[in-house]
Amino acid sequence: MSRTFACRYIVRLACAVFLSGTPLFGAELIRGPEPIEAGPHHRVMRQVWRVLDPKGQPSMATNTYVELAGGLNRYDDDAKRWVKSKAEFELARSGHFIVRQTQYKVILAPDPREKGAVDLLTPDGVRLRSTILGVAVVDPGWRPTVAAHPDFARLHGFGLPRLQRHRAQ
């Protein structure tokens, strides 16, 4: 192992230990991680450790860190607080797919060819409806290609090519 590689490894290891908030000397997690503050795109987490210092004396250490992500939390009107978002689709009896537990509420029609098949409600109450005109397939090793129109069978008779994949140059 070269000296440069060893130095980089030690620096990365030290950064990982420091950023994780894990105490270096004997430690036991007492409580947490638990959220202590939240907003639409952040959550402050706290954890409490029982640690032994270098002399072997027990003490308590509290670590906090901030989680950042777009849309991490949603505001729950019933609880009157920010709660963790869940990006899950629910299948309704009508065949619609519904997302309710995120900042943006989404309803997808059972038939993507339908006008206004995508219905999106923003956190500030603005409703956006859109119609799917086509689908693009993207593969890292290939160039993106229009795969199909929602009404592909009808349009194929007018000369639309079948799905083709082209190697990236």
Say whether pLDDT at 146 is over 70: no
pLDDT of residue 99: 93
CA 169, CA 161: separation in Å to the nearest integer?
21
Residue pair 65/45 in contact (Cβ under 8 Å)? The answer is yes
For 17-31, 100-114, 128-142, which range has the lowest pLDDT when averaged over its residues?
A: 17-31
> What is the average per-residue pLDDT within 149-161?
46
pLDDT of residue 168: 40
Token pair of 10 as six digits: 């030690």
Q: Name the more confident of 126 and 155.
A: 126
CA 11, CA 6: separation in Å to the nearest integer?
9
pLDDT of residue 32: 83
Q: Is 41 helix (H, G, I), strand (E, B) or coil?
A: coil
Q: Which residues contact 32 (CB under 8 A, 6 or more apart)?
A: 45, 46, 47, 48
pLDDT of residue 18: 53
Residue pair 166/138 in contact (Cβ under 8 Å)? The answer is no
pLDDT per position as a tens digit, 41-99: 999 999 998 888 778 788 888 889 999 999 999 999 899 999 999 989 999 999 999 99
For 70-84, 90-104, 121-135, 145-159, which range has the lowest pLDDT when averaged over its residues?
A: 145-159
> What is the average per-residue pLDDT within 118-140?
85
Every domain of the chain and the residues it spans: 3-73, 86-130, 134-169
Q: Name the more confident of 101 and 132.
A: 101
pLDDT of residue 60: 87
Burial class of 169 by CB neighbour count within 10 A (0 to 12, 13 to 18, 19+): exposed
pLDDT per position as a tens digit, 4-37: 555 565 556 555 555 555 545 567 888 888 999 9
CA 7, CA 106: separation in Å to the nearest integer?
49
Token pair of 56 as six digits: 């072997």
Q: Is 66 helix (H, G, I), strand (E, B) or coil?
A: strand
Residue pair 108/97 in contact (Cβ under 8 Å)? The answer is yes
Phi, psi values for residue 135, rounded to 5°:
-125, 130
Local confidence band at 117 (pLDDT 50, 70, 90 cut-offs): very high
